[in-house]
Amino acid sequence: MVYRVGVVGCGAVAKAHAKSLAKLDNVTVVGFADIRPERSAEFAAEYGGNAYASLNELLEKEELDVLHICTPHALHVPMALKAAEKGINVFTEKPAAVNEEQMDALLEAAKKVKVGVCFQNHYNDNSRYVEQELKSGRAGKILGARAFVTWKRLAPYYTESGWRGTRELECGGVLINQAIHTLDLLRSFIGDPKAVEAKTSNHHLKSVIEVEDTVEAYIQFEDCAASFYATTAYCQDAPIMLELICENKSYRIEGADLYIKEKDAPRFTAINFAEKEAFGKGYWGTGHLACIRNYYASLSGEEEYLVTLPEVDKTMRLMFAIYRSAEENRPIELC
């Protein structure tokens, strides 16, 4: 089967989707939609299909099997529900939802259609390697973890977008936008979080954005705890660092690299992976194509989708709890 695909939202991240879709033999992109018609026209000219000025027009004019959603955060779930009402499967950018009510609605919609969320860093070679090590038992019990996202976002990134930095459309800052991938990996490696205590701040763009540029959280799991820190007030887009300390081995992911240390070894040693093409910014990871390919293979029944919606739901609930803890200035229990 060849899936007829539409893409709504023609900004930067949509390019990673369009480039990945162009690599798939069982997909044809029939339409792009954006409220700035010149942008959808540019995408249609480069990748094929027709250009539309709204999602409604795209859904009215095209018979779709799948809708890719690459719009501002607050629109993800409303657009996913509109597609689901028509029996159209959904592949959405992160975040899956911006509040508990939206997440509940998305889980309900997933009973009718296949919903995939673009957590592409699960498909990075270093992430897959660590996941297999943990599942095999070779690492032993996880004793603790830490994760750092230190990136650079200046005023034009927000003011020129028309939606970033606003509570209404972005619905948060560094946590919901940049660091959500790392939070998701951390949670998926360790398990279900039990409680969290967190703080958020806006350090360097107080007069520009309404949301946080920095978040720090202490996340408690069944048998260990993790320290989590993210900021967009750094001087550059540094590689993400995620470290797991285990009984028998320790693992440190830094960008596309992986370092491993045996229990009694004096230092970490590098594990090298073959270079893979990145379809977006390098620090987004190299997993977009693998993630999108896996989603379509799951539609045809050839594979299971690696990033299941129930697992995504756990990450979303943790994110909501971090925001709630920061807002209410108290620890929040998750289960």
Position 156 confidence tier, pLDDT thresholds 50, 70, 90: very high
If asked whether residues 31 and 135 sit together in one domain, one would say: no
Calpha distance 25→28 (Å, rounded) = 8
CA dist 171 to 8, 38, 39, 92, 98, Å? 19, 26, 24, 16, 6
**CA pair distance 132, 141, nearest whole angstrom:** 14
For residue 298, being part of any structural domain is answered with: no
The pLDDT confidence band at residue 4, using thresholds 50, 70 and 90, is: very high
Residue 26's alpha-carbon distances to 2, 3, 200, 289, 294, in angstroms, are: 4, 6, 44, 13, 12
Residue finishing a domain among 63, 85, 117: 117
Range of the domain at 328: 123-276+308-333
On the question of pLDDT at 275 being above 80, the answer is no
pLDDT digits (tens, 9 = 90+) for 98-108: 999 999 999 99
Q: Residue 211 burial (CB < 10 Å; 0-12/13-18/19+)?
A: buried
Q: How does pLDDT run across 277-309, given as a tens digit for each residue?
A: 655 555 545 689 999 999 999 999 999 999 999
Q: For residue 270, give the CATH number of its domain.
A: 3.30.360.10
Give dist(CA 6, CA 3) in Å, integer.
Answer: 10
Is 315 a residue whose pLDDT tops 70? yes
Task: Report the domain count for the chain.
Answer: 2
Same domain, 221 and 312: yes
Amino acid present at 282: G
* One domain, residues 100 and 138: no
The answer on 132 and 7 residing in a single domain is: no
DSSP, collapsed to helix, strand or coil, labels residue 7 as strand
- Considering 90-104, 256-270, 272-286, the range whose residues carry the highest mean pLDDT is 90-104
